[in-house]
Structure 1
Amino acid sequence: MRTACLAMLATFCLFASPLVGAATGTTYSEEVPLWPEDSQVLKDGIRALAREEWALTRPTVLVYRPRRNPVHAAVLVFPGGGYKGLGIGAKSSLGLYGADVCRWLTDTGITCILVKYRVPNTGCNWNAVAGRHETPKVPMALQDAQRAVSLVRFNAAKYGIEPDRIGVMGFSAGGHLAVLSSTAFNARSYAPIDEVDLISSRPDFAIPVYPGHLTMEHKNRTPKALAAQELNTDIVVSNDVPPTLLIHAKDDPVDPSYYSEVYARELRKAGAEVELNVYETGGHAFGVRKQGKDSDRWTQDAVGWLRKIRIL
């Protein structure tokens, strides 16, 4: 998929850079590896990404804790980046290392878990050389997302959260990852390796923000007009999908708003709880930064929705 991040990787995306600490008013309290160093999943990923110059091969989570009035809930945040890099670089609209989106969440009392999943090409992505969309045989990004949900739930007491109040939020490609993690929880994408993997990976709610890769266009199906109205077959919906809030802008030039509309339609058909907020203006990759556009109010609307589903 062609995303804004592909054109500006150096400033907007993070690759395998070492983390010292966010240079903002909000910093994470700890960085936790997702996989044991001797696990086969990690070893296989390192081997598969060995030829990628800027690969992120050791996925982690960054834990941002609320300073006051915790509501004992957590949101795992998946950055965008087209599955090429992670959109948490110096000029990202999520803030350096996701600090801005996590500041918003922690200010509401929610623990924010920023997921640094493996890249590149670890989920559905655009191959510019071949001129087509590709889906990897081993979905390493989904493996990391499922492991992250289980790991946070396994450590719920440690983080001061309730194990049934853990949600996912993702932006662009990360929105696609939020969709996958909230629909594919009945089938783990790797062989369980320890007691963490005995814990459910099903999120309790999901907030995909301008998600990509949601239609059969991303399976290269033609004619494109019909493919654009069919849900990607990688996404299997049911009435077990957790409550979902979809955020999109009508003028998004990268991931058109009909992606979210198609997904919302299929969720409703399946009997799942879904709310779709499509804003007139906002473009793509607005994150949590204010632009003077309609999408500026999405964070406020999301807080209202979280209250409605009794997370806040």
Structure 2
Amino acid sequence: MLPSAVTLLNAALLLISACSALASDNQYPPRSPAPASQPAGAHNADSSAVSYRLEVPLWPEGSQVLLDGINALAHEKWALTHPTYLVYSPTINSSRSAILVFPGGGYKALAIGPNSTLGPQGADVCKWLTDSGITCILVKYRVPNTGCNWNSETRRHEQPEIPMALQDAQRAIALVRYNAGAYAIDPDKIGVMGFSAGGNLAVLASTAFQHRTYEPIDAVDQMSIRPDFAIPVYPGHLTMEHKNKTPKSVAAGELNTDIHISSDVPPTLLIHAEDDAVDPAYYSRVYEEALRKAGVNVELKLYATGGHAFGVKRQGTDTDRWTDDALRWLDRLEMP
């Protein structure tokens, strides 16, 4: 789950840039963001024409949730303390559905740097979605150590005192739903998708919706925080290994107790490669079995090759098919 040094540096530079931009804009509700020179742009020929139209702060400036996070992250070298989301609008006729995308990065950084398989600022994953008529909401949640993460010094998994990443995910869902009219989307067609640690966040967001992890602030928090569907892609932290349970052979077969299963969990599509050496495919198998036992509409797509962090890049492996499989699954749900 830990990012490479290059990925961490790229992500950190993006985080610093994002925080600097927000420091000069304390307005809320959100308004149109940066000038045309600022949005995410060229990564390759596929994403060069993609840019977001809005950058939206998740929390009102001065709110207690935001202040608590700033204090908790005060001693971190590269901290994203002011979470936002980027709105990418469909490039063809809109299906009126939206997907909130949570990048990976081990809850240490956000893997949306120049070499990311999601594209810089998520441009590639959002191009795929917007080309399919889906509004893409790229969520830049707070990091580091804001969800279950690996401490390389203690060699243990650690839980944050404040679940800031989940707070941000829940607030983002509510805020998108609150702004559904402005974004020209159906408030009942809002899903979540996440990659690696972001896949874990998608799982948490789609199972913890009965308990808001922060005190309501404003009218936004009157909105439901339950996503209408979930697509975790090579998700991590799903078994009891991540609660430091031993022996590992037993813990690997038990669902993480931070994940609360009920029959109300939204339809879920799990994506995983069999040869993933970072977040093994049995994570998704354990989660899929728990959902199936609860009567949840769930499907697990396993691919023989693809490894970890394949994102939406074509790389000549079996995982190249997953984006088409996901769109077919959404069609069956009538989303889009």
Interval containing the TM-score (normalised by the shorter chain): over 0.9
Cα distance per residue 1:20-64 (max 9 Å; x no partner): 211222000010000000100000100110100100000000000
Partner residue in 1 for 2:32: none
Partner residue in 2 for 1:64: 88
Q: CA deviation at 1:9?
A: 1.3
Cα distance per residue 1:201-233 (max 9 Å; x no partner): 000000000000000000000000000000000
Give the TM-score of the pair, scaled to structure 1.
Answer: 0.98
Cα distance per residue 1:76-103 (max 9 Å; x no partner): 0000000000010010000000000000
- Alpha-carbon separation, structure 2, partners of 1:181 and 1:6: 28
Give the TM-score of the pair, scaled to structure 2.
Answer: 0.91
Cα distance per residue 1:87-122 (max 9 Å; x no partner): 100100000000000000000100000000000000
Residue from 113, 119, 139 that aligns with 1:89: 113
Whether the aligned pair in 1 keeps the contact of 2:2 and 2:108 (CA below 8 Å) is no
Partner residue in 2 for 1:255: 279
- Alpha-carbon separation, structure 1, partners of 2:293 and 2:161: 29
- Alpha-carbon separation, structure 2, partners of 1:5 and 1:81: 9
Partner residue in 1 for 2:244: 220
1:51-130 equivalent positions in 2, closer than 5 A: 51-130=75-154
- Alpha-carbon separation, structure 1, partners of 2:83 and 2:235: 21
Counterpart residue identity of residue 16, structure 2: A
What secondary structure sits across from 1:298 in the alignment? helix
Q: CA deviation at 1:137?
A: 1.8
What secondary structure sits across from 1:77 in the alignment? strand
Whether the aligned pair in 2 keeps the contact of 1:11 and 1:92 (CA below 8 Å) is no
Cα distance per residue 1:228-280 (max 9 Å; x no partner): 00000000011100000000000001000000000000000111110000100
- Alpha-carbon separation, structure 2, partners of 1:179 and 1:17: 28
1:114-263 equivalent positions in 2, closer than 5 A: 114-263=138-287
- Alpha-carbon separation, structure 2, partners of 1:229 and 1:15: 36
Partner residue in 2 for 1:23: 41
Query: Is 1:291 matched up with 2:300?
Result: no
What secondary structure sits across from 2:322 in the alignment? helix
Counterpart residue identity of residue 172, structure 1: S
Q: CA deviation at 1:11?
A: 3.6
Counterpart residue identity of residue 8, structure 2: L
Residue from 292, 300, 305 that aligns with 1:276: 300
Percent identical across equivalent pairs? 66
Name the Cα RMSD after superposition: 1.1
Partner residue in 2 for 1:310: 334
Whether the aligned pair in 1 keeps the contact of 2:70 and 2:81 (CA below 8 Å) is yes
Segments of structure 2 that go 5 or more residues without pairing to the other structure are 22-37, 43-48
- Alpha-carbon separation, structure 2, partners of 1:169 and 1:5: 23
Counterpart residue identity of residue 17, structure 1: S
Whether the aligned pair in 2 keeps the contact of 1:5 and 1:81 (CA below 8 Å) is no
Whether the aligned pair in 1 keeps the contact of 2:270 and 2:300 (CA below 8 Å) is yes
Q: CA deviation at 1:296?
A: 0.4
What secondary structure sits across from 2:175 in the alignment? helix
Distance 1:6 1:306, change over 3 A: farther
Counterpart residue identity of residue 250, structure 2: L
Whether the aligned pair in 2 keeps the contact of 1:5 and 1:12 (CA below 8 Å) is no
- Alpha-carbon separation, structure 2, partners of 1:160 and 1:231: 37
Q: Which moved more, 1:58-67 or 1:7-16?
A: 7-16
Q: CA deviation at 1:6?
A: 6.0
Whether the aligned pair in 2 keeps the contact of 1:70 and 1:110 (CA below 8 Å) is yes
- Alpha-carbon separation, structure 2, partners of 1:222 and 1:7: 33
Whether the aligned pair in 2 keeps the contact of 1:77 and 1:168 (CA below 8 Å) is yes
Q: Which moved more, 1:175-184 or 1:23-32?
A: 23-32
Segments of structure 1 that go 5 or more residues without pairing to the other structure are none
- Alpha-carbon separation, structure 1, partners of 2:328 and 2:306: 20
- Alpha-carbon separation, structure 2, partners of 1:174 and 1:5: 16
What secondary structure sits across from 1:221 in the alignment? coil
Whether the aligned pair in 2 keeps the contact of 1:172 and 1:212 (CA below 8 Å) is yes
